[in-house]
Structure 1
């Protein structure tokens, strides 16, 4: 199993907290000794991590980005569910909340994906599903933006999204798509049961086949001049409405 790279204080700190044994080494900026860095180094030492002093150039090369904040870690990947069946079977076995899945159709920006994963972790969604040919994969930028959620929320890339949506239907999930022209709104529907919420890319929205596969279409009420929300913000609004309803129920 090949190792991967995490960078930034949040992403590396979460990994040190949740799975310290998977951290192979942590590179830190040798010239940075402010309070935040000192606190991080202390936590890394307490977790038993191998610490390596590096300069900014080396950190940038390892991270593949200049936005590493002086912290880069090489880690072993964590074992998350590799299929939707595994996720849904795990949810059923836990006998807690009904399945809540976020489906992203055409989201290619790693910052948007990272933010969506972070929202999913906070709202209690069980997985994110995306097509292999119209989506960004997990990379170091996604992991940094996700602030640890890339390690806790399964991200499942499927060959045929419409087929996967139909398989979710067979497992009892309602497929609810978001569209600006939908006649009913997010607040008109019951989200307490098994649900897959489908969001498309900004501008283009869902692809036509994805739209046709949905059981229902909803819109997010917009009171101002702006016509739509960033996909990660829209995901947060939808998932937390589902969370609100489930807590209330």
Structure 2
């Protein structure tokens, strides 16, 4: 798989996922040295090509002058995420995506989840964007650190999580429960629905609580990835105030 963009490549090199790096001729010296130093430490070959050949190689001009050949991104398992939470000593914080098929939204949610301390992201098979170079680029390297798992049946997974004491919060713009006035201590999962459609009815009904973000402007809805970032921030802020225990 070809990975492009500066942050994704710089994150992938120390993680040992890169087979080769290609730099565009004319890229600034400081960045080139940074890449070459990391590549040397990782035992990875670096070669140079004209920028137009990089454009052709990845089919876009948005590569920022660097492309890496990496192993395919691998799906984790839900158990990997649960084990990660247990090892951290913090209550589980998981993000469940119900029909987020835009790769840029998917990548942005992964990035927010990693930055804000979630233990992993779960999507339903056949109702998600694949783990692609676009997802990896938008995630800005977060795919190297955060497990992203698939499940065959999201409603069934929610039932299993609830049986294990996980409180499931669904994001819904019309919900009466204000996210800023919600206690998110304890094990928690946040469900983000598809752009425009939101969560499916069955997924929505299985949530313990529906929460909304208070808005002040005339536009009454937010992009799915922006909403996920705000909700995750409020969840981690609430857990910090309560000490993370329920």
Same fold (TM over 0.5): yes
User: What displacement does 1:22 show?
Assistant: 2.7
Match of 2:67 among 49, 72, 84: 72
How do residues 2-13 of structure 1 correspond to structure 2 at under 5 angstroms? Answer: 4-13=1-10
1:143-166 alpha-carbon deviations (Å, 9 max, x no partner) = 011111011111112211111111
Worse overlay, 151-160 or 51-60: 51-60
Match of 1:121 among 114, 124, 132: 114
Seen in structure 2, the aligned counterparts of structure 1 residues 139 and 79 have a Cα distance that, compared at 3 Å, is closer
Give the Cα–Cα distance (whole angstroms) in 2 for the partners of residues 29 and 210 of structure 1: 46
How do residues 202-241 of structure 1 correspond to structure 2 at under 5 angstroms? Answer: 202-241=195-234
Q: Structure 2 unaligned runs (5+)?
A: none
User: What displacement does 1:170 show?
Assistant: 1.7
Match of 1:143 among 130, 136, 140: 136
Q: TM-score, normalised by structure 2?
A: 0.90
1:57-89 alpha-carbon deviations (Å, 9 max, x no partner) = 442344343311121111235777x32123213
User: What displacement does 1:34 show?
Assistant: 4.8
Match of 2:24 among 20, 29, 36: 29
Seen in structure 2, the aligned counterparts of structure 1 residues 239 and 73 have a Cα distance that, compared at 3 Å, is same
SS class of match (2:13)? helix
Match of 1:156 among 149, 154, 157: 149
Q: Is 2:73–2:132's contact at 8 Å kept on the other side of the alignment?
A: no
Please tell me the root mean square deviation across aligned C-alpha atoms, in Å. 1.9
User: What displacement does 1:215 show?
Assistant: 1.1
User: What displacement does 1:33 show?
Assistant: 4.0
Q: Is 1:111–1:145's contact at 8 Å kept on the other side of the alignment?
A: yes
Give the Cα–Cα distance (whole angstroms) in 2 for the partners of residues 210 and 64 of structure 1: 37
Matched, 1:49 2:9: no
Q: TM-score, normalised by structure 1?
A: 0.89
Q: Is 1:101–1:129's contact at 8 Å kept on the other side of the alignment?
A: yes
User: What displacement does 1:113 show?
Assistant: 0.9
Matched, 1:87 2:81: yes
Worse overlay, 24-33 or 38-47: 38-47
Aligned length: 242
User: What displacement does 1:38 show?
Assistant: 4.3
